[in-house]
Amino acid sequence: QSALTQPPSASGSPGQSVTISCTGTSSDVGGYNYVSWYQQYPGKAPKLMIYEVSKRPSGVPDRFSGSKSGYTASLTVSGLQAEDEADYYCSSYAGSNSVVFGGGTKLTVL
Amino acid sequence: EVQLVESGGGLVQPGRSLRLSCTASGFTFGDYAMSWVRQAPGKGLEWVNFIRSKVYGGTTEYAASVKGRFSISRDDSKSIAYLQMNSLKTEDTAVYYCTRLGPGSVFQHWGQGTLVTVSS
């Protein structure tokens, strides 16, 4: 499977909202409601932020939200804070017992 | 608290083998599928494989890039997952993360990662 498509970078000022997209195909994002989002700081392990398109694990601020339309999933970060500056990856179940990740988006808080 | 601790990484020559271990604590290991995800230096995340819990047969699945060379296994009595890597290639150089896998292919918890460098 090919990697999901994410923009290489995104940015916003503190307090603003930013949306990161994740585009796939009918075989992955479009075919299943199994899209997840992960936050990764430099040199650290990723952390689960959103699963099953829009669900938040306990402890993840409600400033983080997820959605999906067709073949594109989105992660929105509202009320941007300096600590949100990190890399963000999406992933999706891709059928045939496989998983595919996006290429990652570097979020910069201006 | 869920903890996953990887070990066994290091420098290895192309064509050789290496085995990684992932020691889990803070949850009932046998109840969960486990998975390895890797990240080449400066690159994105790549799913490697997973192993189901014994309730679901303990069966395994692999990414095409490692199928036939890598093998995942588990010892529920010790709460350890293993990644046996054979016929290593330079492109296998990466940080390897052990993860606990939830329904819907969600990587719920991650270890700190262990670096594998394949070089002559």
What pLDDT is recorded for position A9? 97
Query: Rounded CA gap, B20 and B9, in Å?
Result: 6
A-interface mutation test, from B35, B107, B109, most A Cβ less than 10 A away: B107
pLDDT per position as a tens digit, A33-51: 999 999 999 999 999 999 9
Cβ–Cβ below 8 Å for A45 and B97: yes
B115 interfacial to chain A (CB closer than 8 Å): no
Chain B residues with CB under 8 Å of A92 CB are 105
Residues 6+ apart with CB under 8 A from A86: A39, A40, A41, A106, A107
B63 interfacial to chain A (CB closer than 8 Å): yes
Query: Rounded CA gap, A68 and A66, in Å?
Result: 7
What pLDDT is recorded for position A1? 65
Examine the pLDDT at A110 and tell me if it is beyond 90.
yes
Query: Rounded CA gap, B20 and A32, in Å?
Result: 32
Percent of chain B with pLDDT over 90: 99
Query: Rounded CA gap, B13 and B18, in Å?
Result: 10
